[in-house]
Amino acid sequence: MKPEELALDSDVQRRPKLADRLVETLRRQIASGQLSPGSKLPTEHQLSGEFGVSRTVVREAVTRLAADGLVVPRQGAGVFVNDNAPLALESLVADLSGKVSLVLNVLEVRMAIEIESAALAAQRRSPSQMAEINEAFGDFENLLQRREPTGAADFAFHRAIAQATNNPFYVEILDVLGRRTIPRDLVTSFSSGLLQSEEYQARLQSEHRAIMDAISESDPGAARDAMRRHLSASQKRYHGLLQSGGDLERLFPGKL
């Protein structure tokens, strides 16, 4: 691959996270009143310089804010905070709260299914199935080190464990849950920092390692306990987020 192609590929990988951060910052400024209804946003050039991002990132962020009903682009005049931004913010808060509640419901189902699936995988897994679990774990690790989204690898890890039970219904249940299986994916559109930090994901990977090691050692009791700790920790984190407001207050100051 040519150097210029590598640079372009790197920009494509970095742009979504940069746009997430810019969206979060501008949303917070609108929620706090720093950018009041009807006020004009800084120009594309000014935002690019202030936040150290490309104009492409600025355009992506503005497009997303417009889709949320927070800003209105006016051709030839600039981008303005929507007069109805307060109502749009209330809707976003309700939407995010609803998604956190959905996450807790999904985790409750997963605890009923995956704790036992981990134990069965420890008893029944074949060498090739263990290799698939290890591969999914390695993919998560590589993505984490490259600071890229890990949701797909996370799902692949849990699905590989379900396959190792040699009971197709465990896999079928996870496939039905689909993207909802990985809770943080449901809230990424609101904040790149909301349960998405490297520290948080490294902790998830440590929990994954304990599950993988127990399955590798054919220890169903340890696998069951490791999966229970993993899902219980996620459940506790999201309960805390829902009950205390947590990052919701940071994202939407004064709206909770």
pLDDT tops 60 at residue 77: yes
Domains present along the chain, CATH in parentheses: 3-83 (1.10.10.10), 89-251 (1.20.120.530)
Q: Which residue has the higher pLDDT, 105 or 164?
A: 164
Of the candidates 14, 120, 92, the residue with the CA atom closest to the CA atom of residue 248: 92
Of the candidates 174, 156, 150, 160, the residue with the CA atom closest to the CA atom of residue 130: 160
Q: DSSP string covering 83-100, please? A: TTHHHHHHHHHHHHHHHH
- pLDDT attached to residue 98: 64
pLDDT tops 80 at residue 10: no
Of the candidates 52, 57, 74, the residue with the CA atom closest to the CA atom of residue 23: 57
40 DSSP β-pair partners: 80
Question: What mean pLDDT do residues 144-156 have?
Answer: 87
pTM for this predicted structure: 0.62
By three-state DSSP, how is residue 124 classified? helix
From residue 88, how far is each of 22, 32, 83, 98 by CA, in Å? 18, 14, 10, 15
The region of weakest confidence among 77-91, 119-133, 179-193 is 179-193
- Whether 115 contacts 231, CB under 8 Å: yes
By three-state DSSP, how is residue 73 classified? strand
- pLDDT attached to residue 256: 41
Rounded Cα distance, 179 and 81, in Å: 32
- Whether 229 contacts 210, CB under 8 Å: yes
pLDDT tier, 67 (very low <50, low <70, confident <90, very high otherwise): confident
- pLDDT attached to residue 29: 85
pLDDT in tens, 169-205: 999 999 988 877 776 655 555 544 444 567 778 888 9
- pLDDT attached to residue 64: 84
